Structure 1
Amino acid sequence: MSKNTKQTSSRIGRLASETLKSSSSSQVAKSLAASALSQRSGDKQTGAKMEDKAARVLASDRSAKETKELAASVLSQANKQR
């Protein structure tokens, strides 16, 4: 299985941090933010369940711009063979 070595950028890291601190952020946004932050360094990559959640957010017309940014970052760090 190939490994995706991409890491979360500092800009997305800041957005993820702000999302987690905000009481108005949705649970979906917070879970995407946590996933993005966990991939800030090291060799972690997006799991299948989080990949599915991120894809659903990107396909939704109702998701906020910031949530979609987090979803795109998380999805870009998924396993390329899935």
Structure 2
Amino acid sequence: MVVSFAAPPRGGGTAPCDERAAFTAVVYALTSSCAWRHLPQTFGTSPAIVHRRFTVWTEAGLWRRLHRAVLDELGARGEVD
């Protein structure tokens, strides 16, 4: 399964960041119930940027599409009950 992350459009107030690091931080926050403001600095991006990316990706339907892609991949392997 290949997931591509497009960089947000430039020209606004969105700070540049490593999209993969932001995605990893979002997944960490969601799976650990960590508050955005308590994200470890080891992700290399600020909690505000991570939360902003989460909001943008949610509005864009990323999580729904990612869930569907995982289900499709597992279904193709016969691993979905």
When the two structures are superposed, what TM-score results if normalisation uses the length of structure 1?
Answer: 0.31
Bigger CA radius of gyration? 2
Q: TM-score, normalised by structure 2?
A: 0.31
| Greater relative contact order (CA < 8 Å, ≥ 6 in sequence) | 1
